[in-house]
Amino acid sequence: MTFHGYHHITSIVTSAREDMRFHAGVLGLRNVKRTVLLDGDRPFYHLYYGNEYGEPGTLLTSFAFGPDRPEGRRGSGQVSSISLSVPRGSLNFWLDRLNSHGLPATRFELLGDQRIRFAHPDGIEHQLVEVDVDDRLPWTGADVPAAAAIRGVHSVTVCTREVDELDMFLHEGMGLRSRDADGAVKAYTMARGSAGQVVEVDHRPDIPQGTWGYMRNTIDHVAFDVREADAQLQFKDRLETMGFIDVTEPRDRNYFYSVYFRTPAGAMFEATRSHPQGFLKDETLDSLGSCLQLPNWLEEKQDEMLAELARTQPLD
């Protein structure tokens, strides 16, 4: 079983409107789906952003919980940063763009890559990483030129106090390979090891434990693309055979099927395969993300949910 790269990364944010401004307005991604968190009784927006079709590996998603949800504490056992792939030579464009939108950005180098560090309005760290080759097609319907547009997820950073068991888990459980290290940060690769197929681990032995659960201002989980149902079940069986029992049965998330598993570091990962129609199962390509979509088991509550969302998280 091989992970083919990332599927999506999900953060927990405060404001749906500010989240939309950040991803679509500043980063130039397409809002490909407006739906709701499928767990719990109250409706909370689940917003998806990516390229034209919302293909796996281009997707960032957000649960918008509002200001009443407690803030999480960042620390060990969490995914601490989301890195996105951009073409070489585009960092100056992004420095100017981010700073002009009130998002302070700084340039730095890590693992031999030129990068920019900045943050979501809720403080979640993001990076842009320059790459020479990335075949993923960007969304070009925003005001970001194609020569600078984000191609998709480059990598994530897992922050941990203890690295030995996580290292074993990434190698033996997930089949990743060690690549190189830069100080406390070590890179692991899946598949070909190209952009979108890198996991970075930041060893921080003195950092406090971070919070888990649905807490604002944190990255909730990272999903990896397995493509096939058999591969998903084989991976689940492998983890359980190794003694990692914090693994779920496959769950229907309407647009994909998810097996969640917690790493030894504490970060929540997911093995994901897309629905055959992807995000086109309930909208046309031209209308993606234009209005709220619900799975069939929630359709009878649509009017009630729309009314509450309009009151608590107005988007338009």
Domain span including residue 265 = 6-281
Q: What CATH number did the domain enclosing 252 receive?
A: 3.10.180.10
Q: How many domains does the chain have?
A: 1
CB 139 within 8 A of CB 29: yes
Kindly state whether residue 117 falls inside one of the protein's structural domains. yes
Structure confidence by residue, pLDDT tens digits, 15-31: 999 999 999 999 999 99
Q: CA 86, 47, 160: angle at the middle one, nearest 5?
A: 65
Kindly state whether residue 253 falls inside one of the protein's structural domains. yes
Kindly state whether residue 121 falls inside one of the protein's structural domains. yes
Kindly state whether residue 300 falls inside one of the protein's structural domains. no
Kindly state whether residue 74 falls inside one of the protein's structural domains. yes
Helix %, strand %, coil % for the chain, to 5?
20, 35, 45
CB 150 within 8 A of CB 168: no
Kindly state whether residue 52 falls inside one of the protein's structural domains. yes
**For the whole model, what pTM was predicted?**
0.96
Kindly list the averaged pLDDT for each block of 10 residues, start to end, along the chain of length 316.
Answer: 93 98 99 93 94 98 95 96 98 99 98 98 98 96 96 98 97 97 98 91 96 94 96 96 95 97 97 96 97 90 90 86
